[in-house]
Structure 1
Amino acid sequence: MRVLLVEDDTATSKSIELILKSAGMVVDATQLGEDGLEIGKLYDYDIIVLDLGLPDIDGMEVLRRLRDSRVKTPVLILSGMTQAELKVKGLGTGADDYLTKPFDKNELLARIHAIVRRAAGHSNSVIRTGRLNVNLDSRTVDVDGQPVHLTGKEYGILELLSLRKGTTLTKEMFLNHLYGGMDEPELKIIDVFICKLRKKLAQATGNENYIETVWGRGYVLRDPDETAAAPAKARAS
């Protein structure tokens, strides 16, 4: 999961960044609203965590401009301002949630997971595809209740595929979500991760195919029944 954090207080920013990274998230952080606005428009994030009291432009203005620019990335306002009218204004301007400081780290993580799930059209923490279950909260994977042990990068790929199930994802998108632009390896490393992930899923499911290659474009997660039905439908037509 890739997060953009816009928070001007250095100590608070470092603390939040540590919490998110310990939960396996890739975090890009900035202290300025203008930077957050430009980065948020330029890159693909799962969520933006936004403070209101920024030194250059107000966080509410950042939110308004993001929505005016048709940026649909979910936004969690994280602010020390507790007034009810501000919460109402924030939600009305396009925020998906409003959490006040000080906050409990477990609540912060739970809200982030819930927002990202809802934005992707999933109502609970477990995303099911065929017999495959991906638990976003515990970062675990199982097949019919039997755990499938993945590396951090393998899980990150499967999590992104699950959140955007049925959508073709490019290798560049995987790199951005796994590395956040920092020390990115070559694109072909994604093929290696996908190959290893496929083998583990095949072993756990009796050779069912969940990850489909879309030649020249990337990869997509589908229910094995859908993957098998597609060629048959093409032949019938």
Structure 2
Amino acid sequence: MRVLLVEDDTSAMRGISLMLRRSAMVVDTADTGEEAGELLRHYDYDVVVLDLMLPDMSGYDVVRQMRANRNETPVLILSGLSRTQARVDGLSAGADDFLCKPFDADELVARLQAIVRRARGFSQPTLSVGALTLDLSSHEVRVGTNPVPLTGKEYAILELLTLRKGTVLTKEVFLNHLYGGLDEPEVKIIDVFICKLRKKLAQAGARDLIGTVWGRGYLLKDPASPLRLSPRAAEAPMMGAAA
């Protein structure tokens, strides 16, 4: 899960980033509304964690600009303002949830997971596609009753594919999701991860779950629905040969 944290207090930013990374989330940070808007224009996030008191604009304005630009990324406002009107204003501006500071780390993580699940069409605590289930909290993966042992990177790829089932994702998207733009390896490493992931899923009884769209990328196929490529399939062309 990739999170954009918008917070101008350096100490709070470090602390919240650490909490989220301990839950295996990839975290990008911004300390102004302008910087947040720039990152949202260039990268695809699963959720935004947003402070209200920013140096250049209010968090309310950040949400309003997102929605005006048709950016539907879920937003959780994290603020020291505890009065009811602040929560009403935040939700009315287009935010999906509001959590007051100070807060419990486990509650923050649980709320983020719930927001992302709902935004992606999953109502249950686990993600399910056919016989495949992923537990966002424990990172356990099963096919039916068969456990699927995955490395951290393999799990992150499968989680991203599952959250965006039916959407073609390029190798660049996977690289950015796994490494956040830092010390990224060669793009062909994604082929290696996908190959190993397919083998493990097949051994557990889920064959042909990850599809290849040649020249574009990979997607998770939903056995219950006919394959319809999302508009994201037209994103940047895929580099290199797919596995």
TM, length-normalised to structure 2: 0.89
The offset of 1:226, in angstroms, is 6.4
Gaps of 5+ in 1: 229-237
Cα distance, 1:12–1:85 mapped onto 2, change above 3 Å: same
Superposed, 1:95-106 pairs within 5 Å as 95-106=95-106
Is the CA contact (8 Å cut-off) linking 2:131 and 2:144 kept in structure 1?
yes
Identity over aligned pairs, percent: 60
Q: What's the CA shift string for 1:52-90, capped at 9, x where partnerless?
A: 011221111111111111111111000000111111111
Corresponding residue for residue 217 of structure 1: 216
Contact 2:78–2:99 (CA under 8 A) maintained in structure 1: yes
SS in 2 for 1:185: coil
Higher helix share: 1
Question: What do you get for the CA RMSD once the two structures are aligned?
Answer: 1.6
Report the equivalent of 2:190.
190
**Per-residue CA shift, 1:99-128, capped at 9, x if unaligned?**
000000000000000000111011012122
- CA deviation digits over 1:146-191, x for unaligned, max 9? 2211001100000011111111111111112111111111211111
Q: What does residue range 97-136 of structure 1 map to in structure 2 within 5 Å?
A: 97-136=97-136
Task: Name the CA distance, whole Å, in 1 between partners of 2:222 and 2:70.
Answer: 31
Q: CA deviation at 1:227?
A: 8.4
Name structure 2 gaps, 5 residues minimum: 228-243
Aligned to 2:89: 89
| Residue in structure 1 matched with residue 42 of structure 2 by the alignment | 42
Structure with larger Rg: 1
Q: Which amino acid aligns with 2:163?
A: L
Cα distance in 1 for residues equivalent to 2:14 and 2:226: 44
Report the CA distance between 1:139 and its aligned residue: 1.3
Measured in 2, the distance between the counterparts of 1:16 and 1:139 equals: 20
Matches within 5 A, 1:1-237: 1-205=1-205, 208-223=207-222
Residues 192/86 of structure 1: CA separation in 2 closer, same or farther (3 Å cut): same
